[in-house]
């Protein structure tokens, strides 16, 4: 941040940075670990959310590091509405309730009643007064009577689990403060142009560069947390005899939202059989009630799961990680049925999701990699036809030594779906026809994946 001509002191410039990389609509972003270091040092960072959400950038810094100078800079380049995100436990202790019990905000931003520090302030509106209020909020020794209501600072109620459960600036601010080793309370404010309009990605990058600030995205913060934090716990282990053979089932629960997952391990020694340098034959399978249980022919998930279990049993060593919460590529069971309804009317699988206002694919595999690491898996031979799944596992720290194709045939009910997967989502599906009604371009005879031959079908709803 440069020296301001209004006489306010400059904030120390950002320190050395990791290489920058395009991540937000082609706009250069900085490394999350550098942003955490900046927060710890008392510097603000620019945080952008998703282009399909608010598509805005906020200045964020740790509440415990607030100074009159930093607050003055923040007010100067923002809307001037100073918010202080905090965990619910801190707000409850300070007896600060929600502004309304019926939140109708489009993004459910949890505003509380506004406050001022009772002592050390005048009217409450100056930069010095608001910096004082923010520091009082962040002080664990503060008592409820030390805050007057209403005031000029708006605390926000953080959702437990942070950006992993709600991708908002509220959660990003608290997560960054916590990751920096500070009191989990932040300050945020929207960055605006001189005419009062919101700055967008390119303008935010220019603003950050002009003032020596780092800029990150909430999406990168999500990835960073999934990669660096332990977010699953093993809660069960039992024998599970199946028609494919005798497996050991390990039950897992995510610590952020309680979602339950299962790992089916084949081998006499259970999870101990998976350790060591030899890559483990692995299937990461997304939950599909319609395909796995009901035998739906609109996807080939059930047959893929069966084939994966058979191949792992034949191998004598391997694991299926069964991920809950991935129904319909992560949009949920009922939404998947609604998407099917749109497909009945001629939409493809991608456009059907988008027409519902949902992502084409909302899944991530950070949970799967954490399960694999808990099972001491060092690298995998991954049963999938989806190159993106390979990249995703490697991004979260599980090396993929080989992609082993699955060999399910298309049928009259899923061919259009598979073609959309191939043509619009990049799945590796040789042998399919060019379009519905055209002859196949390759053999329709399945090939044993262990021979290295290529498949004639795709990885279903959950490739």
Helices (H), 316-376: 327-330, 333-344, 349-355, 366-374
Distance CA 209, CA 452 (A): 49
Catalytic residue, candidates 166, 363, 381, 457? 363
Active site (annotated) includes residue 139: no
Per-residue CA distances from 390 to 22, 72, 229, 324, 379 (Å): 21, 47, 21, 19, 11
Q: What is the CA radius of gyration of the chain?
A: 26
Tell me the DSSP string of 69-118: HHHHHHHHTB-S--EEEEEHHHHHHTT--BS-SS---TT---BB--EEES
Distance CA 459, CA 463 (A): 4
Distance CA 132, CA 136 (A): 6
Specify whether the CB–CB gap between 141 and 93 falls below 8 A. no
| Secondary structure (3-state) at 265 | strand
DSSP state of 74: H
Distance CA 106, CA 230 (A): 31
Structure tokens at 73: 């800079």
Sheet with strand 400-404: strands edge to edge:
232-242, 245-254, 260-266, 318-323, 280-286, 380-383, 400-404
| Secondary structure (3-state) at 120 | coil
Specify whether the CB–CB gap between 280 and 271 falls below 8 A. no
Catalytic residue, candidates 49, 116, 348, 361? 361
Active site (annotated) includes residue 234: no
DSSP state of 455: P
Residues in contact with 103: Cβ distance below 8 Å, sequence separation at least 6, in sequence order: 109, 110
Strand partners, 253: 233, 260
Structure tokens at 344: 């009945």
Catalytic residues: 361, 363
């Amino acid at each position: 941040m440069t020296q301001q001509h209004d006489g306010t002191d400059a904030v120390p410039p950002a320190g050395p940075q990791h290489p920058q990389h395009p991540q937000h609509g082609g706009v250069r972003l900085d490394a999350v670990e550098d942003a955490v270091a900046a927060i710890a040092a008392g510097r603000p960072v620019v945080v952008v959310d998703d282009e399909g959400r608010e598509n805005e950038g906020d200045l964020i810094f740790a509440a415990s590091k607030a100074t009159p100078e930093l607050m003055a800079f923040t007010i100067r380049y923002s809307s001037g509405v100073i918010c202080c995100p905090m965990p619910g436990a801190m707000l409850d202790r300070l007896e600060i309730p929600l502004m309304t019990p019926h939140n109708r905000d489009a993004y459910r931003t949890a505003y509380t009643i506004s406050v001022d520090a009772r002592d050390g302030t005048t009217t409450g509106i100056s930069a010095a007064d608001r910096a004082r209020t923010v520091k009082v909020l962040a002080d664990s020794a503060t008592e409820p009577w030390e805050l007057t209501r209403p005031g000029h600072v708006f605390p926000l109620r953080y959702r437990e689990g942070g950006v992993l459960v709600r991708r908002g600036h509220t959660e990003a601010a608290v997560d960054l403060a916590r990751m920096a080793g500070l009191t989990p309370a932040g300050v945020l404010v929207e960055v605006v142009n001189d005419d009062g309009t919101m700055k967008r990605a390119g303008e935010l990058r220019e603003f950050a560069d002009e003032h020596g600030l780092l800029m990150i995205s909430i999406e990168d913060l999500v990835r960073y947390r999934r990669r660096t934090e332990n977010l699953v716990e093993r809660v069960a282990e039992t024998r599970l005899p199946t028609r494919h053979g005798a497996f050991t089932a390990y039950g897992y629960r995510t610590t952020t939202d309680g979602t339950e997952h299962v790992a089916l391990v084949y081998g006499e020694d259970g999870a101990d059989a998976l350790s060591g340098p030899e890559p483990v034959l692995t299937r990461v399978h997304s939950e599909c009630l319609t395909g796995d249980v009901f035998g739906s022919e609109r996807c080939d998930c059930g047959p893929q799961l069966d084939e994966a279990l058979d191949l792992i049993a034949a191998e004598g060593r391997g694991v299926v990680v069964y991920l809950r919460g991935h129904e319909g590529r992560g949009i949920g069971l009922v939404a998947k049925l609604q998407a099917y309804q749109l497909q009945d009317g001629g939409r493809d699988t991608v456009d059907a999701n988008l027409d519902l206002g949902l992502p084409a694919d909302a899944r991530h595999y950070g949970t799967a990699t954490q399960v694999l690491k808990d099972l001491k898996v060092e690298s995998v031979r991954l049963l999938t036809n989806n190159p993106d799944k390979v990249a995703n596992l490697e991004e979260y720290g599980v090396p993929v030594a080989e992609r082993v194709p699955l060999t399910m045939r298309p049928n009259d009910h899923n061919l259009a779906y598979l073609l959309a997967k191939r043509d619009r989502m990049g799945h590796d599906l040789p042998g399919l026809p060019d379009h519905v009604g055209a002859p196949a371009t390759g053999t329709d005879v399945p090939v044993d994946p262990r021979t290295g031959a290529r498949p004639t079908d795709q990885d279903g709803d959950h490739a």
